[in-house]
A and B are shown apart, each in its own frame.
Chain A
Amino acid sequence: MAKEKSGSPYFCKELDRPEGRMQWGKSLLSLSVEDERGFERLALALCRSQARRVAPLARLLQADGGFPADWRRIPPVPQELFKQSRLFVPADQTPRTIFETSGTTRQNPGRHFLLDVDLYRAVSTEGARRAGVPWETVDLHFLAPSPQEAPHSSLSAMFDFWSEKSVHFSHFWIQDGRLDQKGLLTALFEAVRSGRPVGLCGTAFAFVPLLEPGEGSPLCLPRGSFLLETGGFKGRAREMSKPDFYRALEARFGISAEEIWSEYGMTELSSQAYAQGPEGVHRTPPWARVRILDPLTGQDCLTGEKGLVAWVDLANIDSVLAIQTQDEAIAAPDGFRLLGRSPTLPLRGCSLTAEDLRSP
């Protein structure tokens, strides 16, 4: 579809319609990791289409000297812009879903408007499957609120997609903002007793209460179980290094570090990258690419160099496909080693920052 219609106004309209979105989804899922030309063709077509309707992207393209011929030249839009501007492609239509960023900026969150979650559902289930996360073969326990309780959480939505597609038991264990620790531990002990493998998935911070000393005897989760953490600890009162965190998880749940997955996604994106084990390299699915950019030069880092993560996500059809994050990573030959949020500068001391102004 993209091959024939790319660059035409018809292409834009197609992505506003269910059939067109389904076709686009099929194009993405048929890409292979090696298909660089296919990725480029779709990326440039999507960029051209979005630039017609998203003025900030059009301005960035213009500032960069016009439309690029290489997907690497598509200007990544800062995450910050999702707070300052409504980045929504479908003209004259109402977004059915709005995902919002959480954290210290609740008063002015970043908003990701989606015409539909159809493509998000498709890529977030298929992406995890292709990465090798065994979410379809186990009971799923989510250390997250349900989508009913957190309708603007993209993470809850993704877990719900897994839950919908799975034939196994699943449950969201955060209710009214609190982890039902007793219920969860009872369920996990029952899984251990009956030998049913489980997947325990949530933000890194949500795992912390389960790791506190005195929170029950260590578990030995059945073979085939896995843990999935996301988000890291940056910006939280309690921080822990990744190796320490993984060691604590191994000891608490009785599984090996290789059965612990790290998911890297964000509200403003539709696709995710996954890494396995504490030293694992994050890899994207074939329909997304990550560049590691040196903030000093704005250029791509070489392998082994540290920079900031910039995504090109072909599943982000309702906003912008290229996004610049403030997350640090080291470029690797086949992915990147995620370090986490760029350190907060000791900036300003007593001088007020945007974050301070937005905090209650």
Chain B
Amino acid sequence: MTASERIERLAPLCSLFPELGISGREDLRRLLTAALGRLDALDGFVPYGRGWSRAIAPQRLYHVLAGTLPVSGWRSLLEGLLLGSENLLQCPEEQKGAMVRFCQALPPALRKLVRILPSYSEDDFTSADAIVVFGRDETVRLFRTRCRKDQLFLAYGHRVSLLWLGALRRPTIHLVKGIVRDLTEYDQAGCLSPQCLILESEATILRLPALLARVLSETARLHPIPRRPEEAAKIREARTVARALGWPLWEDGDGLQWTLIVRDLPQFQPTCGHRVLYLDKVPRERLGSWLAPLRGHLSAIGVAGRVPLSVQKLFWSLGASRCCGVGTMQSPPPLWHHDGRTPLVDLIRWVDWEGPHPPKSRETTRLLS
């Protein structure tokens, strides 16, 4: 099957799973073209310099998927299928249902390239020529040690995203709705979910929670999330700690749907998730030291308005790979450089053919005739 044929088969899936952020055929073509330069580089040798080159995809990809969200697993599988690889999925129990649903939507010709594993399988792991891991740094380290030297290894470890609104003075309802969208989508469980909102102005930090509370209440009323006991315990703990430390707090009571905490800390600390958003007043001159614990872990920054060059430089130096508008944090574009990498590029290797003509398939070709 050629890359174009795979694109044709995968395109309908994109509209069934809009969370992928890939609209269809055109986005899939762009993805491959951005990675390979042209669509047919996986199908045969294409002109390259004075000779010819061909992209080689992994024959068999072993994916270790995260337990939080299905979307990263779907995207990883989609990329594997786009390359034409066989895909073995080590999928956490809590995401198996979502992955089965995704696989069932695949056309039969592609479905047979996918196998969901009941658990870790050493034989399958060893048989793969490429490994993709999503998860905690600990998980990444574990699988890295299991890899052979000749296995390609690609990992997506710990990341933190946040909102930086700088010296914003008058938050609009449009902006507030955007913040709520970023916070509530996926229940703040992904690496693109903002863990805190940073402001420089004391006045705004006191004005914003009331507006956020209004929109969050409405969202909770329309789309309430049933809470599991372990989530409830974490939320209650975060609230009690805030009360005990005298941090201003806005919350929805026993609904446990959302929590806003204005805190005063010398450095960043993570949230427990589940829509517990911290609002931090951090003057520009302290931003570097405040974010220091995140060095190498920063992912997306949601911003509103102008971002000064010094602040941009700081974010990039801490590892941020994406700066986007408030309200769009959870929907990166198809060509998003996840953890700073061009999609697909790290999964392929190139082989060169030096000669005036490319080799023909199913024929032995003489070099430099």
Contacts and interface: CB of A to CB of B under 8 A. Distances in A.
Majority SS of interface residues in chain B? mixed
Contact of A350 (B136, B237, B256): B136
Contact of A56 (B156, B158, B245): B245
Contact of A295 (B157, B159, B193, B229): B229
Contact of B234 (A59, A294, A345, A346): A345
Given A60-B240, A297-B254, A354-B270, A342 B230 contact: yes
A352 B254 CA distance: 26
Interface in A345-360: 345-354, 356-357, 359
The size bracket of the interface on A is: 35 or more
B325 interface: no
Given A59-B246, A298-B254, A324-B237, A349 B270 contact: no
A342 B233 contact: yes
A8 interface: no
Given A63-B243, A345-B230, A295 B66 contact: no
A178 B236 CA distance: 39
B237 A80 contact: yes
A351 B241 contact: no
Interface residues of B, number: 46
A89 interface: no
A348 B137 contact: no
A343 B233 CA distance: 11
Interface string B115-145: 0000000000000000000111110000000
Contacts of B191: 348-352
Interface in A213-259: none
Contacts of B232: 295-296
B241 A348 contact: no
B72 A354 contact: no
Contact of A347 (B68, B157, B227, B269): B68
A97 interface: no
B84 interface: no
Interface in B177-191: 189-191
Given A78-B240, A348-B189, A350-B136, 15 more contacts: A57-B244, A84-B241, A296-B256, A306-B229, A307-B229, A324-B240, A326-B237, A342-B229, A346-B68, A347-B68, A350-B156, A350-B190, A351-B68, A351-B158, A351-B159
